[in-house]
């Protein structure tokens, strides 16, 4: 199983980016599919999560109202639309998945996620 993350880039503060995580290699099952990020000077943190079991979504507090996670069934991707980006959003973003339901989305503990994509760099300039 290999996830593929894409969509990072350089954007000015207040701008937008859309990240995509290709999930076609996941076998049919219920998954929690999350976006994590590692920002300079901080540990990797969960940003947002989509639970395929009930299509529920979860967000870390600092991105609520700015980021939207969604699943595109036609493309087999889980996308993260990031609006009103701030310099503190700068970091390497990873998508990850684990079998299971909403529980794994609620806490977004990185060690509970089985499958990882490569990171994609997001840089927000002030």
Alpha-carbon distances, residue 100 vs 9, 31, 77, 111 (angstroms): 31, 5, 18, 14
Mean pLDDT of 1-26: 94
Asked if residues 47 and 80 have their Cβ atoms less than 8 Å apart, the reply is yes
- pLDDT above 90 for 101: no
Q: Is the pLDDT of residue 1 over 90?
A: no
Tokens of 99: 């079998």
């Amino acid at each position: 199983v290999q996830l593929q993350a894409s969509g990072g880039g350089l954007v000015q503060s207040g701008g937008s980016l859309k990240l995509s995580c290709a999930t076609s290699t996941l076998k049919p099952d219920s998954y929690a599919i999350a976006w994590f990020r590692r920002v300079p000077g901080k540990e990797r943190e969960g940003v947002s999560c989509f639970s395929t079991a009930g299509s529920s979504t979860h967000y870390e507090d600092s991105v609520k109202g700015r980021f939207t996670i969604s699943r595109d069934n036609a493309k087999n991707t889980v996308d993260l639309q990031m609006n009103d980006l701030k310099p503190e959003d700068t970091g390497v973003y990873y998508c990850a998945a684990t079998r299971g339901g909403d529980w794994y989305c609620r806490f977004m503990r990185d060690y509970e996620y089985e499958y990882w994509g490569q990171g994609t760099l997001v840089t927000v300039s002030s």
